[in-house]
Amino acid sequence: MLVVGEIRDGRLVPSSLEAVAAARACAGPADAPEGLLVGPAARTESGAFAAAGLGTVHCDADEALARPTPWAWSRAIVAAATAAGAETIVLAGTAAGRDVVGRVAAVWEAAGVTGVTAIARGPTGRLRLTRPVFGGRATEELEVAAPRAVLAVRPHAFAPPPAGTTAATASDLSAPRPEKDGRITGFERVAGGAGPELGDAAIVVSGGRGVRAAENFSLIEDLARAFGAAVGASRAVTDAGWRPVSFQVGQTGKSVTPQLYLAVGISGAIQHLVGMVGSRVIVAINSDAQAPIFRVADYGVVGDLFQIVPALTREVRKARGLG
């Protein structure tokens, strides 16, 4: 089994450790999963990656893989899977991870599955996978018949393993590069909140039309800052131009699956729900007790957000020792 870690801005992306947890959930005790890291930071980051419970970490430290194209990354993944003698490859379900699953599956002649939330082995040893489908309104259970599988696990579906004491055994890998490939020349960061990336965040605080005006959105941002959370928004907010479209959660925005999602002044239209219903715990604050958001909420507060949110922000800051 091979776990593919992702390095962004020279640091291991935390959800790579969730991929290790997923791999360990179905690997036998004598079958320590191996890892792959690419780019110039591969060796320095291999320690933290291995400590989550990996045997060897294959490192392709080529400078050209600092920002690998999906095609070059796929080549390295297949080379590492061959070196590891792996039959299953597990990746974090980040945008880059999901992007590469289909390519690797095609080249490696494997089944490719994204959005995986649980992994087990059936009595015959076949992989049994669970994932939400139809925007989280149903759960699909599937058994992989192909001998090889490439899996992307849904963010926050697996708790990262506690850091162990496994010493990293880094092994140099020099994967073949695609003969014809493009080159990523740069990234432009889209406007986002000051906190963590919306797609990766463990906590998301989203505001809707209930905040009434662009300037009131600072209430949402203050609460997000107190939690160390990312800021999201409904389409009503982005359509009104109160926040850029990069904040939008839902069918035509981002899909998020944080551990905690706070929906503030959001009614819970189906197009919003499909983007956040997979969150582990959902808290809704809304003045209308009949608002559909309460049907998916684990905790609901019926009341005026202009009173509740500042009080909640104060309490969260106090609880986190932020004064």
Ligand X SMILES: Cc1cc2nc3c(=O)[nH]c(=O)nc-3n(C[C@H](O)[C@H](O)[C@H](O)COP(=O)(O)OP(=O)(O)OC[C@H]3O[C@@H](n4cnc5c(N)ncnc54)[C@H](O)[C@@H]3O)c2cc1C
Cross-strand pairs, 254: 249
Q: Locate tokens 């926050």: which residue?
A: 156
Nearer to ligand X, 56 or 267 (CB): 267
Contact footprint for ligand X (CB under 6 A): 208-210, 234-236, 248-253, 265-267, 269, 271-272, 275, 285-288, 291, 304-306
Q: Tell me the C-alpha distance between 305 and 321, whole Å.
A: 23
Closest distance of CB 317 from ligand X, Å: 21
Nearer to ligand X, 88 or 286 (CB): 286
Beta carbons of 6 and 92 less than 8 angstroms apart: yes
Nearer to ligand X, 116 or 263 (CB): 263
Position closest to ligand X via CB: 250
Beta carbons of 295 and 289 less than 8 angstroms apart: no
Under DSSP, is residue 121 helix (H, G, I), strand (E, B) or coil?
Answer: strand
CA angle, residues 92, 96, 100, in degrees to nearest 5: 90
Closest distance of CB 247 from ligand X, Å: 10
Closest distance of CB 198 from ligand X, Å: 13
CB atoms within 10 A of CB 122: 10
Closest distance of CB 15 from ligand X, Å: 23
Cross-strand pairs, 37: 59
Closest distance of CB 273 from ligand X, Å: 9
Closest distance of CB 141 from ligand X, Å: 28
| Strand order through the sheet with 2-4 | 111-116, 149-153, 88-92, 2-4, 34-38, 56-60, 169-172
User: 147: which DSSP letter?
Assistant: S
Nearer to ligand X, 92 or 305 (CB): 305
Nearer to ligand X, 270 or 319 (CB): 270
Nearer to ligand X, 80 or 266 (CB): 266
